[in-house]
Homo-oligomer: A and B are copies of this chain.
Amino acid sequence: MIKFESDYLEGCHPRILERLMKTNLEQTPGYGEDEICAGARETVRKACGAPNADVHFLVGGTQTNATVISSILKPYQGVLCAQSGHINVHETGAIEHSAHKVLPLPSTDGKISAEQVESAIEEHYSDPSAEHTVQPGMVYISFPTELGTIYSKSELEALSGTCRKYGIPLFIDGARLGYGLASSVCDLELKDIAALADVFYIGGTKQGALFGEAVVICNDSLKKDFRYNIKQNGGMLAKGRLLGIQFDELLKDSLYFDLSRKADLQAERLKTAFREKGYKFLIDSPTNQIFPILPFDVQKKLAADFGFEQWGKVDGTSSAVRFCTSWATPDSSIDALIEALKDIN
C-alpha cells in the first residue's frame, strides 16, 4: 500500500536524524535558550533576509495559530480569514478557545483578496452599531492554502498594503510554505513573505521535519514578551534544541526548497497523468496537493494499492479526492500510481 493521504506520513529527512544522534548526549539549557537554537534562529533570519526578525520555534500548527493570534488581538477583536481557513474549520475551535471569533470571508479557492478585507473593515467601521459586533483585528491567510493554491506576488502585496493601510497585522500560516514557494508558478520568494507579512511561520511538520513550526515576527510591535505567550499556550518545548536542530538542518542550505520542489514536481506528474486520463480537478492547485474528481469505480480500483483522502461530494457517481506528495515521496511511488492509472478503463 502506497499512501498519499497527507504530507506527514513519514518521519524526517535523514540529516535531521543524524544530527539528533550526534548531539544526543550533549547537555544544553532548555526552552530554546541553547546555542543550537540561537544558531537556527540566525539561519532562519538569513533565509528570510530579515536580520531584525524575532524567530521562535513551536511544536505544531494549531498551537502556533492559537498562540500568534491570541497574542495579537484585543478581547473584542476577531481574525479575518477564508471560510476554508484551517483556523476556521480544522482546529476544533482553538481560536475561539482562546476567546476570539474567526471572521470568515467567502472563498472558493481558499484565498481571500485585498478587496474583501477592505470591504470587511469598511463595513465594520461604517456600521453605526459597530461596537455591538466583533472588530476585525488581523488577517490570517495560509500559503499555500488548504486547497493547494497560492497567492501571486501582486495579490499578496495588495493584501499586505490593505492591512498596513488599516493598521491590522497580516499573519501567514506557512505550514506548507516550501511547497508554495517552490511551485513552478510562484513568483514569490521567502524574502517577499518576510517583507509582506507582519508575522508568519515556516512549516516543518509537513516539510521534512519530525515536527515544528518556525514563527518569524517581522513587525516590531508584535515582538514583546512573545515567549510568555508560547509558554502559556503549552508550546515551549523543554528540549528546545530538537526544534533548533530541525530548522537549522532544513534551512542552512537549499534543502528545504529542494525537498519542496521535488514534491511539487511529483504532484505535477500525477496531475498530468490524471488529466491525460480525462479527469477534471476540483481546483487547479500548483503545489503538493492535487484534487482530481474520480468516478467511484476508479477510486475503488486505486484504493486496492493506494491511499488517498475523500475531499468532497461532486455528484452521484464521482467525488473529489486528495493526493498529497511530500518531501519523502519516492519516484517509484509516483511511477506505480501512474502505471496503475494507465490500466484503468
Contacts and interface: CB of A to CB of B under 8 A. Distances in A.
Interface stretch (A127-135, A139-147, A150-158, A290-298): A127-135
A234 B60 contact: yes
A61 B70 CA distance: 21
A109 B24 CA distance: 34
Residues of A contacting B: mostly: loop
Contact of A12 (B24, B62, B66, B91): B24
A334 B302 CA distance: 60
Contact of A76 (B27, B74, B76, B225): B225
A134 B232 CA distance: 9
A211 interface: yes
Given A236-B60, A236-B62, A237-B60, A93 B205 contact: no
Contacts of A318: none
A299 interface: no
Nearest to A128: B310
B70 A93 contact: no
A99 B94 CA distance: 9
B76 A228 contact: yes
A272 interface: no
Interface string A1-41: 11101101111101001001101111111100000000000
Contacts of A67: 234
A20 B28 contact: no
A288 to B, nearest CB: 15
Nearest to A6: B30
Q: Across the A-B interface, give the 8 residue pairs with the lowest CB-CB distance, nearest first.
A: A63-B234, A11-B24, A76-B228, A92-B232, A96-B101, A9-B27, A93-B134, A93-B101
Stoichiometry (number of copies): 4
Given A76-B92, A97-B98, A66 B234 contact: yes
28 contacts: A1-B27, A6-B30, A8-B30, A8-B238, A9-B29, A9-B30, A11-B23, A11-B25, A11-B26, A11-B239, A17-B20, A62-B236, A67-B234, A70-B75, A74-B225, A75-B98, A76-B97, A76-B225, A91-B132, A91-B231, A92-B132, A92-B134, A92-B228, A94-B233, A97-B233, A135-B228, A211-B239, A233-B234
A69 B228 CA distance: 19
Contacts of A3: 27
A303 to B, nearest CB: 14
A89 interface: yes
A87 B63 CA distance: 19
